[in-house]
Structure 1
Amino acid sequence: MAVSDLTPTPDRPGLHVSAEPIYRKHDDPARWWTTTVTAPTGSYTCGTCGESDTARGASRVRALVQDWTDNHGPAHRGGRR
């Protein structure tokens, strides 16, 4: 499945966040770094109100997820998943 297949649309609403990790050998002690190759990206489309948004970069994606959680997906369902 291509990443574009995971992007939320009005027909397939939801939240999608991605960040390409740096892959290291299994015995490399630095393999647990939280650094990514590219900046994280995120997008959402709300199935209830139709609003959508995108973000790039760790702090902006974090804010996007918080917005989704507070105002869209779970919020429209009364906190239910």
Structure 2
Amino acid sequence: MFRKLPADLRPTEESPGLRVKGRTRYTRSQGDYLCGGCGAEDHANGDNDVKALVDDYTDHHGPAHRNGGRS
């Protein structure tokens, strides 16, 4: 059986990470992150801004902290 997902999937201090929601006919794409390594957080709306948010998170936060990247 599948576990029901929580209604609000935004990253929290207890569950840091990256959340991206694709656009629909009526809404723009959205993204949020909370870095578990340094506590940085950000939010973006729209395809280009969400792509930049994902690139920032990947290059400077989450995975970068685990791999010894920039912080």
- After TM superposition, list the pairs within 5 Å mapping 1:60-75 onto structure 2: 60-75=49-64
Decide which structure has the larger Cα Rg and report it. Answer: 1
Q: TM-score, normalised by structure 1?
A: 0.71
8 Å contact from structure 2 (residues 31, 50) kept in 1: yes
Q: Which runs of 5+ in 2 are unaligned?
A: none
Instruction: Say which of 32, 36, 39 aligns to 1:47.
Output: 36
Q: Which of the pair has the greater relative contact order for Cα pairs under 8 Å at 6+ separation?
A: 1
The total of aligned residue pairs comes to: 64
Cα RMSD after superposing both structures: 1.6
Q: Which runs of 5+ in 1 are unaligned?
A: 22-35
Percent identity among equivalent residues? 48
Which ranges of 4 or more aligned residues in structure 1 deviate by more than 2 Å? none
Question: Normalized per residue, which structure has more helix?
Answer: 1
